[in-house]
Amino acid sequence: MAQSNGRRTSRRGIYLKLRQMVLTLELPPGAALSENELAATLGVSRTPVRESLILLAQEGLVQVFPKIGSFVSRVDPAQVADAQFLREAVELASLDDLPPEPDPAVVEELRDNLNRQQHEDLGLEEFFDLDEAFHQGLMRLSGHGNVWTTVAAAKGHLDRARRLGLHENVSPAVFAAQHHEIFEAVVGGNTQLARTSMRNHLRAVFSDIERIRAHSPELFATDPSTVPVRRNVVVWE
């Protein structure tokens, strides 16, 4: 039984590792995926890699084409919009449930988070992690922190678009400033300002997509029936 549980844990770990590689753009949109190469990189057999790719395909993060191969899906603006709609609805609703006096321990965590976002030598992935913790922390203030797991599971395409936006910007300072504005409105009891600031902050990803798509259209899905052709260089027809 222990050995069986170990195998399941290992397979879960491979799935999570591959998912993270896709979300962090280590495996970029449109990239061809080789089960053999991935298995060698991760030091495992092909079976857990194949199973993980199936799970990622169910999430829309990988596309499998019979007789052609598997590819990281390109960012789908429609799925980004759906995830954004869900996230905005949940986060704005949570602001409406903020207590008159928020938990001081969580408030202090958020304040520390904001201070860390100001560090000049902060890497993009470090900032992304702080960004996630900040938004989850706000939901904890309203008593809905556990909902974040559901939101996070639904926003794979959105998270890739957000990371593309971070890479596009010279500095994440503009996003840190938006976080600070939201935080001050929350602790100041100005729910309406917090909602307006949050909505504008979350919707910034749409302008990022349009700007990036103008010079790198190959990163984004257009026609869902498009099938790649394996040549020396992968071409999407």
Whether 188 and 83 map to the same domain: the answer is: yes
Whether 87 and 19 map to the same domain: the answer is: no
Note the pLDDT tens digit of each residue in 131-176: 999 999 999 999 999 999 999 999 999 999 999 999 887 689 999 9
Q: Which residues are CB-contacts of 119 (< 8 A; sequence separation ≥ 6)? A: none
**Measured between alpha carbons, how far is 28 from 157 in angstroms, rounded to an integer?**
12
Whether 90 and 205 map to the same domain: the answer is: yes
Is residue 227 within 8 A of residue 63, CB to CB? The reply is: no
Q: Where do we find the tokens 């590792």?
A: 17
What does the DSSP 8-state code read for residue 219?
A: G
- Which parts of the chain sit beneath pLDDT 70? 1-9, 170, 223-225, 228-237
What is the structure's pLDDT at 2?
44
What is the structure's pLDDT at 168?
86
What is the residue range of 226's domain? 2-74+222-236
Q: Where do we find the tokens 């194949």?
A: 50
Whether 168 and 211 map to the same domain: the answer is: yes
What is the structure's pLDDT at 7?
55
**199-to-109, 154, 185, 212, 221 alpha-carbon distances in Å:** 22, 18, 13, 21, 25
Whether 103 and 63 map to the same domain: the answer is: no
Whether 56 and 136 map to the same domain: the answer is: no
Backbone angles phi, psi at 30, to 5 degrees: 90, -5
Whether 48 and 162 map to the same domain: the answer is: no
Whether 44 and 131 map to the same domain: the answer is: no
pTM (2 decimals)? 0.86
**82-to-27, 146, 154 alpha-carbon distances in Å:** 23, 21, 9
What is the structure's pLDDT at 18?
97
Tell me the CATH number at 133: 1.20.120.530
Whether 173 and 186 map to the same domain: the answer is: yes
By C-alpha distance, which of 201, 204, 198 is closest to 95? 198
Residue 138 tokens, joined: 């706000």
What is the structure's pLDDT at 224?
59
**Measured between alpha carbons, how far is 123 from 103 in angstroms, rounded to an integer?**
30
Q: How many domains does the chain have?
A: 2
Tell me the CATH number at 43: 1.10.10.10
**119-to-109, 114, 128, 178 alpha-carbon distances in Å:** 16, 10, 13, 16
What is the structure's pLDDT at 25?
96
Whether 66 and 84 map to the same domain: the answer is: no
